């Protein structure tokens, strides 16, 4: 596209043709042409000159002008683009600082190199305008399903033509080993639309759980109308999936509506997902009940929920164990994703053996620490007492309900328990001091002497040491190494310290040391809550 000052009308025709092809504003193309012509003129007249070009939108005539700005004498730096007030008097009446003097200069003829440079400027501007147009067109369509045609495949990533825009379906967003040929039709979920300096802005996915939810929305009118809601989806793309649904109309069965007549509705989704087997599960607010549903087709004997730890124990008959776990743990993994709980599955025999072991361990604890005979210790365990703290600090009435325990016996039990706990705390405190722990850490609220001793053994001996700890170092956590989850043991994990509690203690220590301003922290929390509220809205 060689541009010369002679082919003025052709400029407008070229701009309109490019704008029509790329579906952008012709004015943007003309602005790009003006910039490219100005750049070519500067190469002829001098790079320090402020040369500007204006193209008439009707005739295509390009006007070249030189602009000089009036500045103070001491601020004069560029003699080609600036004037002092005194110098400006020969061109202007009563010039003032900030005035500009514009004079027309002869247009320039472009050589081959200048024309090539101008072409690059125009193409770059057009590409930027095209990307902006794509972003504006698709930014509000994130979270929806779109159809497109395969354009090409690059290193396992599929470039999809959406009609006026291109999107990318990355290798890890394809189901299994899906392969596509040019012009194949593809349906995918718009996962993300974002601005990028170069490359694709629209990212598609066929593995996202939301893709399945949107497919059901297309196939099941009740979901589209809001009568049925998809509450959760868990997928092992291309293999198996679980979807939890709830009906807000008592007369409509959510599972039946999603299955459809003779399975027609669910089969349409299965076909789109390359034969992915789908379990449709009724949602329930009660987590144990929902989990029993989520583990279908396996039958569950008993569920024990630990809400604080976010864990759940599931007991199944021996013959149901392999079905509950599934091939390579697939069934229990999907149920865990669906319910957002850590699930521990065991057989009835394993549960019985574990409970017996716990019973014996607690019995021995009470026999050794409280100097009780086996029968009395078993009575305490049978009544639900699990540790010395419960015996020592429980309301005395709860001990009196045990057969054969009067008020004197109950008080003696509590005295023995408290004395043993105090002796333990003193021993832990002495050990911590012997290891060099400072009083600032010993007196920190929330840390027991046993916790302080454990910290000291891990070389955390001052409040400063404690303040530099990460929350997962204290409470424990998980890391992924080479695709495998590995458990990180926390120093205070044996004492039941949760990740949230560890975060609070570390932040309190940092505030006490003056490392963190409480006002700034409070403002950051308020800003975070505001962002979350906006996202939910």
427 token code pair = 């021993």
Rounded distance between C-alpha atoms, residue 425 and residue 495, angstroms: 14
pLDDT at 200 over 80: no
Q: Give the pLDDT of residue 238.
A: 86
Element spanning 248, H or E: none
Q: What is the CATH number of domain 5-130?
A: 3.30.1480.10
Q: Give the pLDDT of residue 30.
A: 76
pLDDT at 230 over 50: yes
- Report the SS3 class of residue 471: helix
| Best-predicted range by mean pLDDT (167-176, 189-198, 320-329, 444-453) | 444-453
505 token code pair = 């203690």
From 10-19, 335-344, 444-453, 493-502, the region with the lowest mean pLDDT? 10-19
User: What class does CATH assign to 436-529?
Assistant: mainly alpha
Q: How many CA atoms lie within 13 A of 492 on its CB side?
A: 28
| 325: Cβ contacts below 8 Å, ≥ 6 apart | 331, 332, 345
**Which stretches of 196-241 are DSSP H helices?**
209-219, 221-224
pLDDT at 242 over 90: yes
Rounded distance between C-alpha atoms, residue 159 and residue 151, angstroms: 6
What mean pLDDT is predicted for residues 482-497?
78
Residue 519: count other Cβ atoms within 10 Å of its Cβ: 8
User: What class does CATH assign to 140-207?
Assistant: mainly beta
Using CA atoms of 192, 198, 199, 203 in order, give the dihedral in degrees to the nearest 10: 0
First to last CA, the chain: 49
Residue 408: count other Cβ atoms within 10 Å of its Cβ: 8
Judge whether 472 and 488 are in contact, CB under 8 Å.
Answer: yes
Rounded distance between C-alpha atoms, residue 93 and residue 75, angstroms: 21
From 46-50, 286-290, 430-434, 508-512, the region with the lowest mean pLDDT? 46-50
Judge whether 257 and 222 are in contact, CB under 8 Å.
Answer: yes
Pick one of 3.90.1150.10, 1.10.150.20, 3.40.50.300, 3.40.50.360 as the CATH number of 363-431. Answer: 1.10.150.20
Domains of the chain, residue spans:
5-130, 140-207, 363-431, 436-529
Sign of the C-alpha dihedral computed for residues 479, 483, 485 and 491 taken in this order: negative
- Tens of pLDDT, residue by residue over 41-80, are 777 777 788 888 887 777 777 788 888 888 887 777 777 7
Cα–Cα distance list, 317 to 171, 321, 323, 350 (Å): 41, 7, 10, 10
Question: E-assigned strands of 172-317?
Answer: 185-193, 202-205, 228-236, 240-247, 277-282, 302-306, 311-316
Under the banding of pLDDT at 50, 70 and 90, the label for residue 5 is very low
What is the 3 state secondary structure string of 383-439?
CCCCCHHHHHHCCHHHHHCCCCCCHHHHHHHHHHHHHHHHHHHHHHHHHHHHCCCCH
Q: Which is higher by pLDDT, 195 or 373?
A: 373
Q: With CA atoms as reference, report the closest residue to 396 among 382, 413, 384.
A: 413
**Mean pLDDT taken over the chain:** 83
Judge whether 444 and 461 are in contact, CB under 8 Å.
Answer: no
How many residues are given for the chain? Answer: 537
Rounded distance between C-alpha atoms, residue 101 and residue 66, angstroms: 8
Asked if the bond preceding 448 is cis, omega within 30° of 0, the reply is: no
- Tens of pLDDT, residue by residue over 272-313, are 998 889 999 999 988 888 888 888 888 888 887 766 656 788
Rounded distance between C-alpha atoms, residue 93 and residue 176, angstroms: 77
Under the banding of pLDDT at 50, 70 and 90, the label for residue 487 is confident
Q: Which is higher by pLDDT, 124 or 336?
A: 336
Rounded distance between C-alpha atoms, residue 233 and residue 210, angstroms: 7
What mean pLDDT is predicted for residues 211-236?
92
Rounded distance between C-alpha atoms, residue 381 and residue 355, angstroms: 11
pTM: 0.58
Judge whether 229 and 218 are in contact, CB under 8 Å.
Answer: no
| 1: Cβ contacts below 8 Å, ≥ 6 apart | 14, 115, 119, 122
Rounded distance between C-alpha atoms, residue 277 and residue 333, angstroms: 15
Topology alike, domains 363-431 and 436-529: yes
Under the banding of pLDDT at 50, 70 and 90, the label for residue 105 is confident
Under the banding of pLDDT at 50, 70 and 90, the label for residue 497 is confident
Q: Give the pLDDT of residue 3.
A: 43
- Tens of pLDDT, residue by residue over 389-424, are 888 888 888 888 888 788 888 899 999 999 999 999
- Tens of pLDDT, residue by residue over 164-182, are 778 889 888 898 778 888 8
431 token code pair = 């050990």
């Amino acid at each position: 596209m060689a541009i010369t000052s002679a082919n003025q009308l052709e400029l407008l025709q070229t701009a309109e043709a490019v704008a029509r092809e790329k579906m952008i504003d012709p004015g943007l193309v003309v602005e790009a042409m003006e910039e490219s012509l100005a750049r070519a003129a500067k190469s002829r007249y001098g790079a320090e000159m402020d040369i500007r070009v204006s193209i008439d939108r009707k005739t295509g005539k390009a006007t070249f002008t030189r602009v000089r700005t009036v500045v103070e004498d001491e601020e004069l730096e560029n003699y080609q683009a600036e004037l002092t007030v005194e110098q400006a008097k020969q061109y202007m009446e009563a010039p003032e600082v900030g005035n500009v003097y514009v004079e027309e200069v002869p247009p320039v003829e472009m050589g081959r190199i200048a024309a090539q440079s101008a072409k690059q400027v125009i193409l770059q501007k057009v590409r930027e305008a095209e990307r902006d147009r794509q972003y504006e067109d698709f930014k509000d369509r994130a979270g929806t399903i779109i159809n497109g045609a395969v354009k090409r495949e690059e290193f396992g990533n599929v470039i999809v033509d959406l009609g006026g825009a291109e999107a990318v379906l990355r290798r890890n967003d394809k189901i299994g080993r899906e392969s596509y040929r040019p012009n194949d039709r593809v349906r995918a979920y718009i996962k993300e639309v974002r601005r990028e300096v170069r490359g694709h802005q629209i990212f598609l996915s066929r593995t996202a759980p939301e893709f399945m939810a949107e497919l059901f929305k297309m196939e099941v009118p009740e979901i589209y109308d809001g009568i049925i809601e998809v509450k959760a989806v868990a997928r092992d793309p291309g293999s198996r999936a679980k979807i939890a649904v709830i009906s807000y109309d008592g007369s409509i069965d959510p599972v039946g509506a999603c299955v459809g007549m003779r399975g027609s509705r669910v089969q349409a989704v299965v076909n789109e997902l390359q034969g992915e087997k789908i379990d449709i599960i009724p949602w329930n607010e009660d987590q144990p009940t929902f989990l029993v549903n989520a583990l279908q087709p396996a039958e569950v004997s008993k569920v024990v929920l630990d809400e604080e730890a976010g864990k759940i124990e599931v007991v199944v008959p021996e013959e149901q164990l392999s079905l509950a776990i599934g091939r390579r743990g697939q069934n229990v993994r999907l149920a865990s994703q669906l319910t957002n709980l850590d699930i521990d599955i065991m057989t009835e025999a394993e549960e019985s053996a574990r409970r017996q072991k716990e019973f014996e361990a607690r019995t021995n604890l009470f026999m050794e620490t409280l100097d009780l005979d086996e029968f009395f210790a078993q009575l305490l365990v049978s009544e639900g007492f699990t540790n010395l703290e419960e015996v020592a600090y429980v309301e005395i009435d709860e001990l009196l309900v045990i057969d054969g325990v009067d008020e004197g016996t109950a008080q003696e039990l509590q005295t023995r328990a408290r004395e043993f706990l105090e002796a333990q705390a003193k021993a832990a405190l002495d050990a911590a001091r012997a290891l060099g722990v400072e009083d600032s850490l010993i007196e920190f609220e929330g840390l027991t002497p046993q916790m302080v001793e454990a910290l000291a053994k891990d070389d955390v001996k001052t409040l400063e040491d404690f303040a530099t700890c990460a929350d997962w170092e204290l409470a424990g956590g998980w890391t992924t190494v080479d695709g495998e989850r590995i458990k990180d043991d926390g120093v205070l994990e044996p004492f039941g310290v949760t990740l949230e509690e560890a975060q609070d203690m570390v932040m309190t220590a940092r505030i006490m040391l003056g490392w963190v301003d409480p006002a700034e922290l409070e403002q950051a929390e308020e800003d975070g809550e505001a962002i979350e509220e906006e996202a939910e809205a």
